[in-house]
Amino acid sequence: VLYVFFFQAEDGIRDFCLSRGLGDVYKRQYQRRVHGGITKKQKNYQKKKEMSFKLTIAEIGNLDRQLEKIMEGQILSEAEVKNLCDKAKEILVEESNVTLVRSPVTVCGDIHGQFWDLLELFRIGGKPPDTNYLFLGDYVDRGFHSVETFSLIIALKVRYRDRVTILRGNHESRELNKAYGFYDECLRKYSNENVWKYFTDLFFYLPLTALIDGQIFCLHGGLSPSIDTLDNVRQLNRIQDVPHEGPMCDLLWSDPDENKPGWGLSPRGAGYTFGPDITCLLYTSDAADDLLCVDLGGRRIIKKKK
């Protein structure tokens, strides 16, 4: 009965989708609306995920001590970093390439090793678990405190896994951060490259995109000519270094260009530029509402218009 009522209420959209062979996608979109942006299958997955990883009382106490240590500007030992990265992998390996996030949430762009600015952000916006956070990537390079910055974010993710969501940026790449400062910082602070290896191995597990309330699509870079639907993103194999081309590369490197329609070559040498008409193509192919490109600290958010 609900399906019939919905079809009657929005039979114009229904006819549009069915005429293009998108009936199944249209039904999925209906489920997202009826269940507050998340389908029943996704809800069951979330419950299973929450039950699969539990911290012991001892682990919670140890994490709290590490968080206090990091926030005082001290670095963790090599053994502590390895253990923290192993715990984070257990969590991240279960998360989809399109990880689900619920509002209210504070969305943050590039940090680039600005550790003290990150602490200021928490001072103003509130610390987890009191405030939910979604980080869009680029935690390392350029700044002088990439080790402390990423250590803090990982520790918060492990301690408050459902309050902190972390995505991958283009600098979460061995090739890039070996040239832009993170590798040298790890050598300087630990006198070997082991910690750099632990961190960069963990980068492989970071989700590529997030979906807030089933309505706001968040990612570090932009769209890709190889991706038509969110299911295309979910099917990508992200357990690898950032490739030089292809859909995964595009998600982390592409940029919107409001003044130039269609796809264009990116001046950055990776990914593409895309105009407003491209977001409309994503609308028709994913049977979603209209999409809008928004710039956030140099990063992109694609939001559905209602």
Catalytic residue selected from 35, 171, 220, 244? 171
Q: Is the peptide bond before 129 cis (omega within 30 degrees of 0)?
A: yes
Task: Please choose, from the candidates 84, 151, 79, the residue with its C-alpha nearest in 3D space to the C-alpha of residue 113.
Answer: 151
Max distance between CA atoms of the chain, in angstroms, equals 67
Question: Catalytic residue at 171?
Answer: yes
CA distance 148 to 221: 24
Q: Are 258 and 247 in contact (CB under 8 A)?
A: no
Within 10 Å of residue 33's Cβ, how many Cβ atoms? Answer: 13
What distance, in Å, lies between the first and last C-alpha atoms of the chain? 24
E strand spans, the chain? 98-101, 106-108, 133-135, 164-166, 209-212, 216-219, 255-256, 263-265, 272-274, 290-296, 299-305
Enumerate the active-site residues: 171
